[in-house]
């Protein structure tokens, strides 16, 4: 039984950082999923794949995994590289690239 601990990224529908900054412990699948031949549904007999535990900090998630003797791998989040841009820079007389339409 192993798990991964990660901090989920913001969804594509978000422009801000709301509902981010928490950590999730998610179990790895113990058996592969299979396709039901009659209905075509994808199913699995692995009940742990339905469990997602949320924690406010990374330390609490790691402490829980160690306390319950769960092997885990920690995935650190990537920091977004954002440039500071200004609308007024579009109209500067000393622009780096010429204004074209």
For the chain, give the mean pLDDT. Answer: 87
Place of tokens 């529908």: 13
Which element (helix H / strand E) includes 54?
Answer: strand 52-55
Each residue's pLDDT tens digit, 8-57: 988 778 777 777 889 999 999 888 888 988 898 988 888 888 899 999 99
Q: Between 28 and 87, whose confidence is greater? A: 28
- Walk me through the domains of the chain, giving residue ranges and CATH numbers: 2-8+21-77 (3.30.160.190)
What residues have CB less than 8 Å from 60, skipping those under 6 apart? 23
Lowest mean per-residue pLDDT among 23-32, 34-43, 61-70, 91-100: 91-100
Q: Are 50 and 27 in contact (CB under 8 A)?
A: no
Q: Which of 28, 30, 23 is nearest to 8 (CA)?
A: 23
pTM of the model: 0.70
**CA 25 to centroid of chain Cα atoms:** 11
Question: Is the pLDDT at 100 greater than 70, yes or no?
Answer: no
**CA 80 to centroid of chain Cα atoms:** 13
């Amino acid at each position: 039984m192993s798990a991964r601990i990660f901090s989920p990224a913001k969804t594509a529908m978000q422009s801000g950082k709301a509902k981010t900054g928490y950590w999730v412990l998610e179990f790895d699948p113990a058996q592969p999923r299979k396709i039901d031949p009659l209905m075509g549904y994808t199913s699995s007999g692995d009940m742990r794949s339905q469990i997602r535990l949320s924690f406010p900090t990374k330390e609490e998630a790691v402490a829980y995994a160690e306390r319950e003797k769960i092997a885990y791998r920690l995935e650190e989040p990537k920091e977004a590289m954002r440039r500071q841009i200004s609308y007024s820079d579009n109209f500067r007389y000393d622009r780096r690239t010429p204004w074209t339409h």
